[in-house]
Amino acid sequence: MAWVRRFRAGGLSAWVDRSRRPDTCPHQTDEVVEALVCELRRAHPRWGPARLAYEPERREVVPVLGCASCTTAKSSSLTEQ
């Protein structure tokens, strides 16, 4: 049982609530790509996700197509707050 192993390994202090958040997210967009997409979005507000994904490819930075729409949605929600 996991809780018994935790108790034996760390005593009562091992029973403190721990975060279940993963340490990494392998499919998360790189910060450089995200910044580039946000910069392009600010410079060209009428461009859609397909164009925003195409432009970084020309600069040899390859985002996933869904990255452009998710990144712009995320950045716009952050600026509205």
Asked if residue 45 is part of any domain, the answer here is: yes
Asked if the structure places residue 20 within a domain, the reply is no
Whether the per-residue pLDDT at 77 is higher than 60: the answer is: no
How much is the pTM?
Answer: 0.51
pLDDT the model gives residue 66: 60
- Whether residue 2 lies inside any domain: the answer is no
29-35 LR contacts (CB < 8 Å, sep 24+): 29/63, 29/64, 29/67, 29/70, 29/71, 32/61, 33/61, 33/63, 33/67, 33/71, 34/67, 34/71, 34/75
Domain count, the chain: 1
Range of the domain at 61: 28-81
Q: Is residue 77 part of a domain?
A: yes
- Tracing tokens 């721990």 back to the chain, one arrives at 18
Residue 49 lies in a domain: yes
* Inside any domain, residue 21: no
Residue 36 lies in a domain: yes
5-55 tens-digit pLDDT = 888 888 888 778 878 888 887 777 777 888 888 888 889 989 888 888 788
